[in-house]
Amino acid sequence: MAGFEKISIKDLTKSFSDTNGKRNLIFEKVSFELHSGAVLRLSGASGSGKTTFMNVMSGLIKPDSGSVLFGNIDITNLSEGKKDRFRAENIGYIFQTFNLLSPFSVIENVYAPLAFAGRLPQNYKDKALESLDKVGMKEFAAKKPYHLSVGQKQRVAVARVLFADPPLVFADEPTASLDRSSSELVKNTLLELNKKGTTLVLTSHDSIFDDVKPDIDFNLETGVLS
């Protein structure tokens, strides 16, 4: 698996234009370094830009200017093909909206990203079941996403990341739809990954994460890095 020692964010700026063509600045000239294995927490009120920052940092959308370097690879400059490959090898993403593929079953959703990347391991079905088991979703393996509650979908999204086991995980409000015990489960799962070296980028309004001390906190509302 590809690896990198640090992620360097340099002068990153992102704005959106509204329907009247007015520029809405989300963040401007943000620079910091995140070492491999660290925790970055994105904080700030709803609408302040946490998801947008994750999307830019993970290469899903382009910044207006600036760079995101994984080691010496600038994800903002990669061709679409190279970027897809880089993302498949390095990045797991628990989306705020889960992004499950509705025609596929739960277990297929777990292994789909690696299948698309042509990187399915041997015994992938057993491994996918193991990942589902860790989040209490094994018995739902054959179901379709539309058979699931919101909290169950969220746990499948977590299982998908566990299965791919990438060096960098983005978790956007990963416990937003979960009850206390499932939230604990997801939190502990993410912390376990981090403990064995996975770099974690997290947004959460959930007080359950209050005791997780991030290496860097970036408040999108105030622009303050601490």
Ligand X SMILES: Nc1ncnc2c1ncn2[C@@H]1O[C@H](COP(=O)(O)OP(=O)(O)OP(=O)(O)O)[C@@H](O)[C@H]1O
Interface residues with ligand X (CB under 6 A) are 16, 26, 44, 46-52, 96, 220
C-alpha to C-alpha distance for 201 and 87, rounded to whole angstroms: 15
List the x/- string, 68-107, binding to Mg ion by CB under 5 A. ----------------------------x-----------
Nearer to ligand X among residue 26 and residue 157 (C-beta): 26
Closer to Mg ion by Cβ: residue 50 or 160: 50
Q: Please, where are the H alpha helices in 23-66? A: 50-57
Nearer to ligand X, 131 or 204 (CB): 204
Binding flag, residue 51, Mg ion (CB under 5 A): yes
* C-alpha distance from residue 107 to each of 126, 127, 167 (Å): 10, 10, 22
Q: Looking at beta carbons only, is 15 or 67 nearer to ligand X?
A: 15
Q: Give the N- to C-terminal CA distance of the chain in Å, as an integer.
A: 31
**Partner that binds at residue 48, options ligand X, Mg ion, none, CB closer than 5 to 8 Å by kind:** ligand X
H helical segments located in the chain: 50-57, 80-90, 106-116, 124-134, 150-164, 180-195
